[in-house]
Amino acid sequence: MKTDHLMTRESMEKGRALMVSLQDACQAIGSTILRLFEACGRLVIFMGHAVVNVFLPPFFPRLIVRQLVDIGYYSLPVVGMTALFTGMVLALQSYTGFTRFNAESAVAGVVVLSMTRELAPVLAGLMVAGRVGASIAAEIGTMRVTEQIDALSTLSVNPFKYLIAPRILAGTLTLPCLVLLGDIIGVFGGYMVSIYSLGFSPGRYLTQTWDILETMDVISGLVKAGAFGLIVALMGCYHGYNSQRGAQGVGAATTNAVVSSSILILIFNFILTQVFFS
Binding site for another protein (CB under 8 A): 58, 60, 143, 146-148, 150-151, 153-158, 162
Q: Provide the minimum distance between the beta carbon of 155 and another protein in the complex, in angstroms, as a whole number.
A: 4
Q: Provide the minimum distance between the beta carbon of 258 and another protein in the complex, in angstroms, as a whole number.
A: 22
Do 262 and 199 form a contact (C-beta atoms < 8 A)?
Answer: no
Q: Provide the minimum distance between the beta carbon of 66 and another protein in the complex, in angstroms, as a whole number.
A: 10
Nearer to another protein, 156 or 274 (CB): 156
SS3 205: helix
* Residue 40, Cβ density class (10 Å: 0-12 exposed, 13-18 middle, ≥19 buried): exposed
- Find all residues with CB under 8 Å of 100, minimum gap 6, and list them: none
Nearer to another protein, 93 or 248 (CB): 248
Nearer to another protein, 160 or 191 (CB): 160
Q: Provide the minimum distance between the beta carbon of 31 and another protein in the complex, in angstroms, as a whole number.
A: 14
Axis crossing angle, helix 165-196 with helix 202-212, rounded to the nearest 10: 140
253/245 Cα distance (integer angstroms): 10
Do 198 and 108 form a contact (C-beta atoms < 8 A)?
Answer: no
Nearer to another protein, 88 or 250 (CB): 250
